[in-house]
Amino acid sequence: MFKFWKWARSASLALALGFATAAIVINEAEAETLFRLGVPEDALTLDPIASSDNPSIWAELLIYDTLIRPATNGVDLEPGLAEKWTVAPDGKEYVFTLRDAKFADGTSVTADDVIYSLKRAAGEKSDWARFFKPITNYEAVDQHTIKMTLDTPFTPLLNNLALFSGSILPKSSESDAEFFSHPIGSGPFVLKEWRKGDRIVLAKNPHYWQQGKPAVDMAEIQVISEDNSRILKLQAGELDAIINIPFNQLKQLQSAAGIKTAAADVFRVEFVQLNTKKKPFDDQKVRQALNHAVDKQGIVDSVLFGNAVPAASSIPIMRYHNTELKPYAYDPEKAKALLAEAGHAEGFSTTMLLPAGDDKLRNAGAVIQDNLQKIGVKVELQSLEGGAQWDTTKAGNYEMSLSYATSDTIDPDQLVGFTVVNPERANAYHTEWKDDRVNELYEAERKTLDGPEREAQFKEIEARVNEGAPYIFLYHQKAAYAWRDNVEGFAVLPTSNYRLEDVTMK
Amino acid sequence: MYLLRFTILRLIQMLPVLIGITLCVFLLLRVMPGDPATLILGRRGTAEDIARLSAQLGLDRPIWQQYLLFLWDIAKGSLGQSIAYRAPVGPLILERLPATLLLVAYSTVLTVLMTVPVAIFVAMRKDGPADLLVKALFVVLMSLPPFWLGILLILFFSIELHWFPVSGYGSNIIENLWYLFLPALVIALATSALTIRSLRSSIIAVATADYVDTARAKGLRPGTVMRRHILRNSLVSTISVLAVHTSWIIGGTVVVESVFAVPGLGYLLVSSIFTRDYPMVQGLTVTFAMLVVLISLLTDIAYALIDPRVRYD
Amino acid at site B211: Y
Residue in A with minimal Cα distance to B55: A125
Which pTM value belongs to this model? Answer: 0.84
Question: Which residues, 6 or more positions from B47, have their beta carbon under 8 angstroms from its beta carbon?
Answer: A425
When scoring B115, B161, B166 by the number of chain A Cβ atoms within 10 A, the one with the most, hence best to mutate, is: B166
User: How much is the CA Rg of chain A, to the nearest whole Å?
Assistant: 26
Which pLDDT value is given to residue B309?
74
Is the dihedral angle over the CA atoms B15, B16, B19, B21 positive or is it negative? negative
pLDDT higher for A273 or B28?
A273
Backbone angles phi, psi at A445, to 5 degrees: -55, -35
- pLDDT tens-digit map of B141-182: 888 888 888 889 998 998 888 899 888 888 888 889 999 999
Asked if residue A412 lies in contact with residue B301, where contact means CB atoms within 8 angstroms, the answer is no
Residue B44 distance to chain A (closest CA, Å): 7
- Is the pLDDT at A4 greater than 70? The verdict is no
Q: Which of B42-51, B85-94, B280-289 has the lowest mean pLDDT?
A: B42-51
Please tell me which of the candidates A238, A390, A391 has its beta carbon nearest to residue B165. A238
pLDDT average, residue stretch A411-429: 92
Q: Is A216 or A252 the better-scoring residue by pLDDT?
A: A216
Q: What is the mean pLDDT of chain B?
A: 85
Contact residues on chain B for A391, CB-CB shorter than 8 A: 33-35, 38
Which residues of chain B have a CB within 8 Å of the CB of A223?
Answer: 261, 263
Indicate if the pLDDT at residue A14 is higher than 60: no
Instruction: Tell me the C-alpha distance between A502 and B45, whole Å.
Output: 32
Residue A202 near residue A63 (C-beta atoms within 8 A)? yes
Report the pLDDT value the prediction gives residue B55, as an integer from 0 to 100.
Answer: 84
Give how far B14 is from chain A: nearest CA, Å.
Answer: 30
* Dihedral of alpha carbons A468, A471, A472, A473, sign: negative
Cα separation, A470 vs A315, whole angstroms: 12
Nearest CA in chain B to A129: B49
Cβ pair B178, B221 in contact under 8 A: no
Reported as a pLDDT band with limits 50, 70 and 90, residue A1 is very low
Interchain pair A197, B267: CB under 8 A: yes
The confidence score (pLDDT) of residue B37 equals 81
Q: Give the count of alpha carbons within 13 A of A405, CB side only.
A: 30
- pLDDT per residue as tens digits for the range B187-212: 998 888 888 988 998 888 888 888 88
Q: What is the pLDDT of residues B250-279, one digit of tens each?
A: 766 778 888 888 888 888 888 888 888 888
Sequence-separated (6 or more) residues with CB below 8 Å from residue B295: B243, B246, B247, B250
CA distance A111 to A95: 11
* ipTM of model: 0.75
Q: For residue A414, which residues of chain B lie inside 8 Å, CB to CB?
A: 44
Closest CA to B236 of B155, B308, B159, B177: B308
**H-type helices in A273-378, by residue range?**
284-293, 296-302, 332-341, 359-373
Q: Measured on CA atoms in the order B278, B279, B285, B288, is the torsion positive or negative?
A: negative
> Which chain A residue is nearest to residue B39, measuring alpha carbons?
A387
- How many Å lie between the alpha carbon of A338 and the closest alpha carbon of chain B? 32
Average the pLDDT over each of A3-12, B12-21, B178-187, B209-218 and give the range with the smallest value: A3-12
